[in-house]
Amino acid sequence: MPTWLPILQGSDAEKLSAYRDPAIRATLRAEVEAPLGPDSTFSKRWDLMIVEEPQRPGNRSLAGQSIAAIAQARGKDPLDVFLDLAVEEELGTVFSLGEINMDTEAVAQILGSPYAVVGLSDGGAHVQFHSNVGNPTRLLGYWVREKGIMSLEHAVRRLTFDSATAFGIYDRGLVQPGMAADLVVFDPDTVRPCKEDVVHDFPSGGWRMRELAEGIHYTVVNGEVLLEKGEHTGTHPGRVLHNARYQVARG
């Protein structure tokens, strides 16, 4: 979306000026509405664009609502609702865009494949878009308990031994002598991810998306209790892990 890019790279004052300009907004709208391709990468799923944290007291009722729902209630175009709110709150509104790759039948098939690893490709790079730390609890709560696509035992193996083995980390993933004591104590009847929320705990008040969990009683790292009922115990037993190939290369 070529018109959007320089605006997003500009200062806050430049962004607000552009979003207020009817001519520029018309161009922005055309790029949003264009078919997906090199010049338009927006999914047009305004129903997945959620107002997470409005700033002005008069807008607090919008929290948790989608831009599509607000636009329908107001009889306005979704892009206008989105940009008007951003301008009104001087770019302080926190929005989130939900995932669109949630064909449940396809996901169930992928999760059941022995060639798939349950998890995420990276961490910390997209904290203002999603957290995705709820993948393990979502597997245990939704896919195992509610959908029954695999046994609990198999799901635990997928999350532990299979993942560790795939990355060449061979001293974790099993409960047996000689292995690192990394353990999670959870209730299979209640474990689930909580709804994502926004926290401001980065330097200078920076924000990120957070996803807590229910049904997790203890998290043990290297034999020490790190978390008890979601609260940090004050210990720091974690270490940087290197896979077997790295260790061989380093001698």
Q: Could you tell me if 19 and 111 lie in one domain?
A: no
Q: Could you tell me if 93 and 110 lie in one domain?
A: no
Q: Could you tell me if 180 and 225 lie in one domain?
A: yes
Domain boundary among 65, 97, 129: 97
Domains contained in the chain, number:
2
Mean pLDDT of 166-187: 94
Distant-in-sequence, close-in-space partners of 133: CB < 8 Å, separation ≥ 6: 123, 211
Q: Could you tell me if 117 and 13 lie in one domain?
A: no
Give the torsion sign (CA, 103, 104, 109, 110).
positive
Mean pLDDT of 206-227: 93
Q: Could you tell me if 31 and 145 lie in one domain?
A: no
Give the C-alpha separation, 81 to 72, whole Å: 10
Q: Tell me, what's the pLDDT at 136?
A: 93
Q: Could you tell me if 88 and 179 lie in one domain?
A: no
Distant-in-sequence, close-in-space partners of 192: CB < 8 Å, separation ≥ 6: 137, 138, 140, 141, 142, 213, 214, 215
Mean pLDDT of 72-77: 96
Radius of gyration for the chain, computed over Cα atoms and rounded to the nearest angstrom: 22
pLDDT digits (tens, 9 = 90+) for 97-143: 876 666 788 888 888 888 888 877 666 666 666 667 888 999 999 99
Q: Could you tell me if 133 and 238 lie in one domain?
A: yes
Q: Tell me, what's the pLDDT at 123?
A: 64
Q: pLDDT averaged over the chain?
A: 89
Q: Could you tell me if 170 and 231 lie in one domain?
A: yes
Is the pLDDT score of 19 beyond 90? yes
Q: Could you tell me if 18 and 89 lie in one domain?
A: yes
Q: Could you tell me if 131 and 22 lie in one domain?
A: no
Beta strand spans in the chain (E): 49-53, 94-97, 183-186, 192-193, 197-199, 208-210, 213-214, 216-221, 224-228, 231-232
Q: Which domain holds residue 222?
A: 104-250
Domain boundary among 50, 73, 97: 97
